[in-house]
Amino acid sequence: MIIISSGIYLHSQNSYSMEEALKVLKMIEKVETAQMENRRSGLSQVEVTESEFNSYISYRIDTEGEEIMRGLQFKFLNKNKVEGKIYIDLRGQNLPSILKPEMNIFFSAEIETDHGAVRMDVEDLFIENRKVMPAVLDLIIAISAKLTGEEVTSIDDWYELPFGIKEIVINPGKAIFYY
């Protein structure tokens, strides 16, 4: 890990602000505490900037020792639309010939939430500069799951939102999490 005086940390493919990552961790703690107290009427919200969210994701990738997905960045657009980049490192693995050991995956998607669950409706998907079907990403997810001993999932799956979050609204540069 390389530490730059401005508070930006560099590790593998990720550069992020530790200050921003810690800010998001404090927001998560606030949401968890509110869920345990359960004295609220109606929904509360926290707002996270795109930069803070990306710092948090990079921090998690680094601290959890992610071996395959080495980088993930989001760009928040209007009306729950996002664009993103995933850096995958499968060097040293026995791969199908259609996959390279190192890949940059680019996507555009709509974030959908429903009763405390979330999924990404992928609209466009590229590996490097080549447009591919979402099934290719499912193949990468399956290979990763097999290598790490985790359950195989799909890009189309719904996932339970953590920390009692009920809904996410994405706007340019920020996301609002309702809990």
pTM over 0.85: no
Is pLDDT above 60 for 2? no
Query: Percent of the chain having pLDDT more than 90?
Result: 59
106 confidence band (pLDDT: 50, 70, 90):
very high
173: left (phi over 0), alpha (psi -120 to 50) or beta: left
The chain-wide mean pLDDT, for the chain, equals 87
Is pLDDT above 70 for 9? no
156: DSSP letter: T
| Residue of 12 and 36 predicted with greater confidence | 36
Give 29-62 pLDDT, tens digit per residue: 998 888 888 766 778 999 999 999 999 999 999 9
Are the beta carbons of 35 and 164 closer than 8 angstroms?
Answer: yes
Give 123-171 pLDDT, tens digit per residue: 999 999 999 998 888 988 898 888 888 899 998 999 999 888 999 999 9
Q: Which domain holds residue 13?
A: 2-178
- Confidence (pLDDT) at 119: 96
Give the total number of structural domains in the chain.
Answer: 1
